[in-house]
Chains A and B, each alone.
Chain A
Amino acid sequence: MSLLSLFCVFFYIGLFAIGGGLVAATFMQQVLVTKYGLITTEKFFSMLAISESTPGPIGINMATYIGNEMYGPVGGIVTTIGEVLPSLIIIILIARFFSQFEKKPLVQCAFSGLRPATSGMIMVAMAQVYKIALLNLDKFYETKQFVDLFPWSSLVFFAICLVLLFKTKLHPVFLVLLGAVFGVLFL
């Protein structure tokens, strides 16, 4: 696949992946692995693991990684720009007209439904992370012991994070660093 077609593929992914990075990743899997066979499933998931464990939006990390894999550093830049270009254009168009429309009753009403639904969607993201970070499902299925369902040290650290977040003015980035240190020492 030429660099230009690769750009087009990522432009297409950027245009149709609605709802955040993981949706984009699933979409990439469908397009790049299943449809075009550009990368193997195994390679794809190892890329996804790296994209999740490095800073930056997951969808962007994936785009850079795949481009890099196929065409070196330049490829990484080309695919990343391809991926963000559709949303850049769409958001600029929306932002341009948003201030004119945001006070209109029709838009206000649409938002009065959209806002709580967005909260619900964020709760889905929360529940998914709870499942991996705060439950030991694998071990629980194995031993069937209720005590094994909870990684206790993680729960204690989780409680500390919540107190720091809600009760202090500590910058959240320190919590990310603290989390990394906690993981290396205790997990």
Chain B
Amino acid sequence: MKQEKKTYLKDLFELYITFFKIGSITFGGGLAMLPILERELAEKKHWTTPNELLDYYAIGQSTPGVIAVNVATFIGYKKNKILGGIVATLGVITPSILIITLIAEFISNFEHIVWVQKAMKGINVTVAALLTYSVFTFAKRTIKNLWGVLFYIAAFVLIFFFNVNSIFIIIGSALGGIIIGLCTGRISFTKGDKWL
């Protein structure tokens, strides 16, 4: 019994440290972090699979809040229920709190320091590469048929060129998927309530 409690605490600690690490290397927003999450959570820890991660991203995009945090909560919950979700979330936000508090308290004009600006410009190029990798991995795994191509292009064009709010894309694509399911007979109302 005591042993069990010890491993439970060890699990929570590991969860905290892992997401602390992820929080401290997240640059350029959560979307660019897919390669890092894949490496840390799927390959190293086996807490999730790349395909599950994609679903968490899809859910994280469609629910309120910051994506990196949403993914952390999801995986934390999956591992250690509610406490796991809370611990993983705290882990991912702690570096932000520490770093920003230090900067706000001690460094004035941080954003005007020349080498910080230069380093940031360089990191932006890395982020562009990380995002390219994310886009390729996502596209390869999620576009399974012609409908997929259509949804993919439509989402991009509507947001990028027409500034459509992403919430409409989320609702529209989910509904679109359901309508296609109804038309192709994947969802059927005649088989009782099995469709839900």
Instruction: List residues of A whose CB falls within 8 A of some B CB.
Output: 14-24, 46, 49-61, 64-65, 68-69, 73, 76-77, 80, 83-84, 86-88, 90-92, 94-96, 98, 101-102, 104-106, 108-130, 132-134, 154, 157-158, 161-162, 165-166, 171-173, 175-176, 178-184, 186-187
Contact = CB atoms under 8 A, between A and B. Distances in A.
B126 A117 contact: no
Given A95-B78, A105-B181, A65 B122 contact: no
Contacts of B68: 21, 57, 60
Contacts of A22: 29
Interface in B142-184: 142-144, 147-149, 151-156, 159-160, 166-167, 169-170, 172-178, 180-182
Contact of B128 (A98, A119, A134, A173): A134
Contact of A109 (B66, B92, B178): B178
B49 to A, nearest CB: 13
Contacts of B182: 109
B121 A187 contact: yes
Given A19-B166, A53-B117, 14 more contacts: A18-B167, A54-B103, A55-B26, A56-B23, A73-B101, A80-B97, A108-B186, A109-B186, A112-B148, A117-B152, A118-B155, A120-B153, A129-B124, A182-B125
A41 B122 CA distance: 27
A187 B122 contact: yes
A92 B58 CA distance: 15
Contact of B24 (A55, A58, A76): A55
23 contacts: A16-B64, A53-B110, A53-B117, A53-B119, A56-B24, A56-B93, A57-B66, A57-B68, A73-B101, A86-B65, A108-B186, A113-B173, A116-B173, A119-B155, A126-B131, A127-B156, A130-B128, A133-B124, A133-B128, A161-B129, A172-B39, A183-B123, A184-B122
Contacts of A105: 181, 186-187, 194-195
A158 B128 contact: yes
Q: Which of B68, B92, B127, B129 has the most CB of A within 10 A?
A: B129
A158 B16 CA distance: 32
B180 A179 contact: no
B100 A51 contact: yes
A174 B132 CA distance: 17
Nearest to A110: B174
B151 A120 contact: yes
Contacts, number: 379
A86 B174 CA distance: 22
A109 B64 contact: no
Given A87-B69, A182-B125, A64 B159 contact: no
B153 A92 contact: no
Nearest to B43: A169
A109 B195 CA distance: 10
B85 A91 contact: yes
* Residue of B73, B103, B123 most packed against chain A (CB within 10 A): B123
A173 B28 contact: no
A106 to B, nearest CB: 5
B95 A121 contact: no
B85 A54 contact: no
